[in-house]
A and B are shown apart, each in its own frame.
Chain A
């Protein structure tokens, strides 16, 4: 029966071509379709029509991604290397690079940030010279499909499209609330779709030149999205994001040209294999690309741009933090991981990542703005993933990939949730979220799930931490062990603090109307469902998908989780889901007597007030701890930046000096 069904699907979908001939149409479709839609978004100025098209396009992207993944799995999940002859496309892409350069130059002159344009002009000229006048390169595949890139496609296609659906409703409420900003939704949605397209291109590309183009595209998209409101703060922050990312891009261009002259090939995969083999020519490009990826992943000292990105409307934050942009940096580092393992570059990357994990999580404690806490936690979590990539063993990549999946879903959920909460509550301050679960029950519950997914057992973050800790002990990475144990303590602190605020009960008088739109709720609901499903299924996912991925990457089969730990985990997952439910059922049937809270004998008969020293009733309000003087961003950010800058420069000098 099952066999027949399988055969039917195989026949129906026209699969079984091991060369991948049949699935090829979806790859260019996924990359190009969002660009076509973005043009439509820009040209259509009628909100209803545009919204409908946005819904449909997001649906199409999701469907095609799903079709692509299903076909690829039925074909036996092969590694495909496609598009060998692409001369015309290469030229078109070069034109696109020039177009981007003109955009950057125009805007940087318009807003009097002229120096920034140099960071775009010089690399563009270099890459143009190299491509047109440089040496003949070996013929390579330009597109590569393997488990890692397919996983990225799933994240982008699913989470990215959901964010688009969410933003249709959100942006409506946003412009209703913020009438001071010009309504340029056509522009906003154009950027969202360009972002998705370039992310697909980025993760599927094998040629470094293509990677460079898509890299620059994501940089400039995020720059434009951050500057959406055109306030002074937005413009300043957007230019900070721009120069940092362009700096990374410049590093990438240098790496490409160096690799081109030294190795004669522009394939990322062959660069990695050279690095694994210990070729001297690969050391510098790998180091430069890895450092460039740090800018994208917002690691210290480049993390301020992601903090500044908070001025943009929430969907763009969600997009930057979960499905796109920062994940691009992580993706590149995962690709490079085998080449970084045990090298000085690996040491540099794992130190920066581990340090950022700890420092950002400490600074998150002092934030009261919900979005800022989320931003710091993103930086911090990315730090852990970066550190995992830097160590570069199968165990750490396993941990990193699960961290990435959990992070993508829960961050997207949390950002959308905070955005929706802000629209209803007119504030995103955590102090104002007091008793959210009673005032906005749906949003409060989603927020609770999202936060639990970030750090509590049995969600995957924890087991990833287990694996990362074990691997860093195994590789004798002392600093990383210290960073992880301290960082996990601070991480727990700021999340639990927030969760306890949501369920606090002292001050829930102020009624709020939940104005969350249906499409926003749909997206939130799917996210929460995905979160729980991932939590329940991750042992399966580990065996079926992630371990083969590691085999693909490292060439050796590895079972990361010992069987005993795996069974124990499944038991814990079941326990954590079942025990509270049983306890809850018991608690609802138990005979109870409700009393007033203890207030040192000055109760007034309800739990919201007490009698003050003048004999009058006073409203009771409890706030959280933030310790701004001890853990504040103002106090810690600069020293942390200097430490990382110094470490990075010293290490880069050592790496480059050693390789020359």
Chain B
């Protein structure tokens, strides 16, 4: 029990810090890949601090309440995860949170924002099967959906679930809205602020959204790490290395690929999920 409370508290306090650092790292590495020096690694914190010091600037009053609901849902999801709960329920709750975000984007009037919302929804449809299958992979490998049981396994889940892992990393590109699957954040040329779903979010609302993203990224990275964690304390080191490697891979893909059309994304995501995770599923079920 104390361990659980510790996990939840650690997530609540440190997730924004880690998330912000990840985001800063992302910008730094991307800049270096593009031959720029890039901003300081702490730049996301400076940005959010400035945004938070502003008042709420909105287009539709309901935006604030929807973005706060999104933030709260993401925090609870992550809290549940690091508190050792059921991963399937975590993702169910996270998708409810994602609908809050979509609503926040589509109740404004901007066509950019609306289109971003539609595309975000499409992306959700693309990544949902792989996410659920990954949870099932854990269940098949360890006999439980609970994080607290999964980390007590003798061997890390990845040994039995490499296919689920590959599929999950594949759709992580969609989930993190990275190129080539960054449809919902399609930038307006040369603009940092006009980004699909966040087009009509400004000042404090945008800050809340950024913080929610930090929490979400830490949760997702925690899920990546979960594949590598087991009873052995050293496995946590492996997990951290794996998380960093995965994140680096995402940045690399982001910077080396061009955006694809929706149907390509849809076919790729569903196809990869079915082929790689599906085959892994069949193998595990037939062997079991």
Q: Which A residues fall within an 8 A CB radius of B?
A: 456-458, 462, 465-466, 469-470, 473, 476, 478, 481-482, 484-486, 488-490, 492-493, 496-497, 499-500, 503-506, 564-565, 568-569, 572, 575-576, 579-580, 583-584, 586-588, 590-600, 607-608, 620, 622, 624-625, 630
Q: Which B residues fall within an 8 A CB radius of A?
A: 55-62, 64-66, 68-69, 72-73, 76, 80, 85-86, 88-89, 92-93, 95-96, 99-100, 102-103, 106-115, 117-118, 121-122, 124-126, 128-129, 132-133, 136, 139-140, 145-146, 188, 194, 199-200, 202, 263, 270, 274, 278, 281-282, 285-286, 288
Measured between C-beta atoms, what is the minimum distance from A595 to chain B in Å? 6
> Which residues of chain A are near B285, meaning CB under 8 Å?
473, 476, 478
Which residue of chain B has its CB nearest to the CB of A599?
B110
Q: Is the CB of A492 within 8 A of B146?
A: no
Pairs A–B under 8 Å by Cβ, sample size 29: A466-B88, A473-B136, A473-B285, A476-B286, A481-B281, A488-B128, A489-B126, A489-B132, A493-B121, A493-B125, A504-B114, A565-B89, A568-B85, A576-B73, A583-B69, A584-B65, A586-B65, A592-B55, A592-B56, A595-B202, A596-B59, A597-B110, A597-B113, A597-B200, A598-B112, A598-B199, A620-B111, A622-B114, A622-B115
| 8 Å CB contact of A505 from B72, B109, B194 | B109
| 8 Å CB contact of B118 from A457, A488, A624 | A624
Which residue of chain A has its CB nearest to the CB of B55?
A591
Which residue of chain B has its CB nearest to the CB of A475?
B285
A284–B86 alpha-carbon span in the complex (Å) = 41
Q: Contacts A590-B56, A597-B200, A625-B118: A489 and B139 contacting too (C-beta < 8 A)? A: no
| 8 Å CB contact of A593 from B56, B263, B281 | B56
Q: Contacts A457-B96, A486-B270, A587-B68: A499 and B103 contacting too (C-beta < 8 A)? A: yes
Measured between C-beta atoms, what is the minimum distance from B118 to chain A in Å? 6
User: A interface, by DSSP: helix, strand, loop or mixed?
Assistant: helix
| 8 Å CB contact of A597 from B55, B93, B108 | B108
Q: Contacts A476-B288, A496-B102: A590 and B64 contacting too (C-beta < 8 A)? A: yes
Besides A486-B129, A565-B86, A591-B55, 6 other CB < 8 A contacts?
A469-B132, A486-B270, A489-B126, A575-B73, A576-B73, A598-B112
Q: Max chain A CB contacts within 10 Å: which of B96, B107, B109, B140?
A: B109
Q: Max chain A CB contacts within 10 Å: which of B68, B115, B274?
A: B68
A216–B118 alpha-carbon span in the complex (Å) = 45
> Which residues of chain B are near A630, meaning CB under 8 Å?
263
Q: Is the CB of B92 within 8 A of A462?
A: yes
> Which residues of chain A are near B60, meaning CB under 8 Å?
505
Closest 6 CB pairs of A and B: A489-B128, A583-B68, A597-B109, A587-B64, A607-B109, A587-B65
| 8 Å CB contact of A599 from B89, B111, B263 | B111
A575–B285 alpha-carbon span in the complex (Å) = 36
Which residue of chain B has its CB nearest to the CB of A586?
B68
Q: Contacts A485-B136, A625-B122: A593 and B108 contacting too (C-beta < 8 A)? A: no
Q: Contacts A500-B121, A579-B69: A587 and B61 contacting too (C-beta < 8 A)? A: yes
